[in-house]
Amino acid sequence: MSKRVLVSGGAGYIGSHVTVELIQAGYEVLVADDMSNCDLTCFEGVKKITGREDIPFVKMSFCDEAATEKLFSDWKIDAVIHFAAFKAVGESVEDPLKYYGNNLNSFVNVIGAARRHGCRNILFSSSATVYGEPDKQPVTEQTPRKPSTSPYGNTKQICEDILRDCVAAYPEIRGIALRYFNPIGAHPSALIGELPRGVPNNLVPYITQTAAGRRECLNIFGNDYPTPDGTCLRDFIDIVDLARAHVCAVARMLDDKMEKEYEIFNVGTGRPLSVMELVNAFQKVNNLKLNYKIVPRRAGDIIAIWADPTLANEKLGWKATRTTEETLAAAWAWEKHLMGKN
């Protein structure tokens, strides 16, 4: 009997890629999503990639405690990966209560229901946001967390603390937090990818939409940072590589390989890339010329951050393998797929 993994927020960008990798690794997957930040495009793409039309899907909000309870009582769930959260940094600054209400309550409900229904294994989708502007690079899991610059980032820190404290208090559960760096790209099939609603908050969808003519111009926020080319440095991680890390973390839990009841792993490449390097790589690999302009710095952007992924490499047996060129080619193939549908 294969193990069943609940993917909360599984119709979204990261959730859909993780669902594909879990199914291809032999797990049964239950997808639940309130569809507030996505449509069924990626879920339908997941079915095509995996050849599985029977993937169970439940439309629900994890802020609804009764619905969450029912989900765990209706299904035998061996592990849960929790993605369901609002994620726009700017919006969180403008409407913090929306973010604290949704992101914290949904996770509290998931942990409570998991605990009551014998689901030991909880994997939390965290973020490198928790490090703030680090004092030295690269960051390890021991790098101190800094006060967050946004309510969104703060919800990631608080959810990590909730998981840590619950694991310490309740011996029947254990947890892993994966701290992602900057996920980019799309599945090589071009059937699933990042599908932002409205104006993209992330760099790569803005690049691909500008290349497609959907956006007039790409704004590059600041070229006067203390970096080699003046633009911010980030650790851009391919979405499929990121998804594979979740499969490794779930296996670590289900195979009883965890060394502590609560573990944290950085999920990044360990290679910093500047915003300008990424833009130039996209133009080169896809043989395109992008319309872009340098504009003033954006509030809240940190100068540089990249991961030391040694712990994930050693303990999870995971490593980022896809090249920047492969990632950016896949991102453009996905955008063209969307253009073909429109």
Return the active site residues.
152
Q: Is 84 exposed, middle or buried (0-12, 13-18, 19+ CB in 10 A)?
A: buried
Backbone angles phi, psi at 262, to 5 degrees: -135, 120
> How does 193-209 read in b/e, with b if 16+ C-beta sit within 10 Å?
bbbeeeebeebbbbbbb
Helical residues (DSSP H) of 25-87, grouped into ranges: 41-50, 65-74
**Close Cβ partners of 1 (under 8 Å, ≥ 6 residues apart):** none
Q: CA-CA distance, 307 to 172, in Å (whole number)?
A: 31
* Nearest in space to 328 (alpha carbons), one of 205, 181, 185, 183: 185
Q: CA-CA distance, 18 to 255, in Å (whole number)?
A: 19
CA distances to 1, 14, 138, 150, 275 from 305, rounded to whole Å, are 42, 21, 7, 17, 12
* Nearest in space to 10 (alpha carbons), one of 252, 326, 24, 45: 45
Whether omega for the bond prior to residue 138 falls within 30 degrees of 0, making it cis, is: yes
